[in-house]
Structure 1
Amino acid sequence: MSAARSAKADGLRVVRVALLAAIAGTAFAGCATGAAPAPPPPVPTAEPAPAAEPAPPSGPAPTPVAVDVSAELTALEARYSARVGVSAMDTGTGREVAFRAGERFAYASTLKVFVAAEFLRRVPAAERDAMVTWTRGDVDDAGYSPVTGARVAEGLPLAALAEAAVRSSDNAATNLLLDRLGGPASLDAGLEELGDTTSEVVHDEPALNRVSPGAVADTSTPLAFTANLRTLLLGDALAPADRQLLTEWMSGNATGDALVRAGAPEGWAVADKSGGAGGIRNDVALVTPPGRDPILVTVFTEKTDEGAAYEDRLVAETAAVVLDALA
């Protein structure tokens, strides 16, 4: 067992005990969204609309400065009968917001941004136009799959599947990418290579959404996901062109308008990836204020009442509190 995996195992034993005492019993199930799927969107284009690439941080990272918004977030938890986890960092000033940042949450479809990133990291550009085909059964088994469901007869290139996974939260596209990478365990190993020894990637879609109270499989922490965003979107884990491409896909995410984007001040650019199933509603985002360095944000939420549906407004209001504190 590697030192990283051993550290992960020790940490997970502590987390399991804490979660069993802290989380109200809620069984999570569902696909990538809680609402009925909209009509299939257009097939992702080969040339997405350009988005400005965030400049990687230069020089040493600023000294972290904690910003306390625990009173506001505790009030939101009470009002929405939910548990909220936040990790946000202003990459320019070093100011940070952490609230339940080390607690485990089901990540749901936010994982798809890391599936796409691992695809860009491991698959050479010359191989990304390879055509992939699938069956109607693949789509039906995966659940919410608006792009691949409309292309069963034709198939799509690998790169278009990665775009569909991020922009449209397409489940079957995600599973096909995971198959190309070697399965969920291979993605888990890839995240470990990037320094994430916390996230536990075990299942593909839609099983990754069904997380029982106290379970560790298919969960992570806000802190770990924000660190991953920094590594992939602002670090050198991806080639510059691939960083820009991933940011473009997130900027065109069709499922995040009511989440962090809705809570951001006017004029702030938001590139995000949403996730939702049952009582889970999450969003991970790169938020760029005009003329400033980016702010990285992870918001994980889950309802504590069994059977309660998620609420977009909880994520948006959480984001508004956090971004206002870092403005």
Structure 2
Amino acid sequence: MRARLAVLPAFAVLLGGCSGAPTAPSPTTPVTSRAPSPASSPAVVPDPGFSALEQEFGARLGVYAVDTGSGRTVAHRADERFAYASTYKALAAAAVLDSGADLATPVRITDLVDYSPLTERHVGGTMTLGEVAEAAVTVSDNTAGNLLFDQLGGPEGFEARLRALGDTVTESARTEPGLNRWNPGEVDDTSSPRAFAADLRAYAVGDALDADDRDVFTGWLRGGTTGAEQIRAGVPAGWVVGDKTGHAGRYGNQDDVGVVWPSGGRAPWVVVVFSDRPGLDDESDPALVARATGLVVDALS
């Protein structure tokens, strides 16, 4: 593991709103450029109750959410570092799409790690690269996550892809399962809510991916099966959510990142919620993420 000081670099790519009148795009309509441009005076919503949630749950909560139509944002500890756990799999899958790799390429399944519910069915055989990426995003298959790292040139290659988006914050150092062994104050395998949201926005809503690849990526996000109690539970019925959860299994870490398409054809929101607690063996609670999302909904609505 690389030793680093826990110093957060300034992240130059901000998540301001787009200029001009807000539109109501479909889930595949880009509303940002590859590197989202800051608005001259984005509307930042004051803390709608995140501090009270932290006290209630005995947790540290990091939130960044942006309405990509209006540019309104909600932020709490948005520039602090949190372990990203399995949420990286969403960005890694998008980075593979961005690389131009052929999703039909066969990938041999050999070295399994813990929690690999889909890849374990194919040991000794192959899956397509597209099936591997889908498994990583939709069921959080850990072997699939490592295979995405392999496709990108390891954690360093994944990190380089994020740097190309303008992300100078996210640090990727280890593969599964080691990336989950985060301790407070460490920098490896962490990001900030603001930085992660910028990456997710570029891939899922902006034009970092071409239209066809963006459709594939957002389809994987919407097909997620692990987040029913988190962001999905915090939005009104009828809203569409595509998300990727993360859970390191230590320090009460519980994360969820996603794109929310409100009803009525409104522009999508990008929502990132990270959380942890002070004790190594503290339990995580998906309800904290759901409640935080509910506060985001109230604030942005």
Instruction: Establish whether TM, by shorter chain, passes 0.5.
Output: yes
* 8 Å contact kept, 2:170–2:192: yes
Alpha-carbon deviation of 1:189?
0.7
Displacement of 1:128: 2.1
Aligned mate of 1:65, from 43, 52, 60 = 43
In the alignment, is residue 288 of structure 1 matched against residue 281 of structure 2? Answer: no
Residue 200 (structure 1) aligns with:
171
Q: SS state of the match for residue 277, structure 1?
A: coil
Counterpart CA distance in 2 for 1:13 and 1:316 is 28
Name the SS of the counterpart of 2:31 in structure 1. Answer: coil
| Counterpart Cα distance in 1 of 2:70 and 2:114 | 42
Aligned residues: 275
Instruction: Choose the corresponding residue for 1:187, options 138, 158, 161.
Output: 158
The residue aligned with 1:259 is 230
Unaligned runs of 5+ in 1: 1-8, 17-51
Distance in 2 of aligned mates of 1:235 and 1:163: 20
- Distance in 1 (CA, whole Å) between partners of 2:88 and 2:32 is 28
Distance in 1 separating the partners of 2:191 and 2:8: 11
String of CA shifts for 1:22-80, please: whole Å, max 9, x gaps: xxxxxxxxxxxxxxxxxxxxxxxxxxxxxx6332127987641011125x111111111
Give 3-state SS (helix, strand or coil) of 1:117's partner: helix
Q: Secondary structure at the match of 2:73?
A: strand
Give yes or no for the alignment of 1:304 onto 2:278: yes
**Contact 2:32/2:206 (8 A) holds in 1:** no
Q: 1:121 aligns with which of 92, 95, 98?
A: 98
**1:88 corresponds to which letter in structure 2?**
A
Contact 1:53-1:243 within 8 A present in 2 as well = no
Contact 1:81 1:305 in 2 (8 A): no
Asked if 1 retains the 8 angstrom alpha-carbon contact of 2:233 and 2:290, the reply is: yes
Task: Give the 3-state SS of the residue equivalent to 1:150 in structure 2.
Answer: helix
**CA deviation after TM superposition for structure 1 residue 153, in Å:** 3.6
SS of match in other structure, 2:270:
strand
Partner of residue 14, structure 1: 7
The amino acid across from 1:90 in the alignment is D
Normalized per residue, the structure richer in helix is 1
Offset from partner CA, 1:195-224 (integer Å, 9 cap, x none): 001000111111111111110000010000
Q: How does 1:27-42 map to 2 (within 5 A)?
A: none
Asked if the contact 2:69–2:266 (Cα under 8 Å) also holds between the matched residues in 1, the reply is yes
Offset of residue 161 of structure 1: 0.2
* Structure 1 residues 13 and 300: CA distance shift in structure 2, 3 A: closer
Task: In structure 2, list runs of 5 or more residues that go unmatched.
Answer: 10-25
Q: 1:159 aligns with which of 130, 155, 167?
A: 130
| RMSD between aligned residues | 1.8
- For each residue in 1:226-265, what CA deviation from the matched residue of structure 2 results, as whole angstroms up to 9, or x when unmatched? 1111111122111110011000000000101111000001
Report SS of the residue matched to 1:69: coil
Runs (4+) off by over 3 Å:
12-16, 58-63
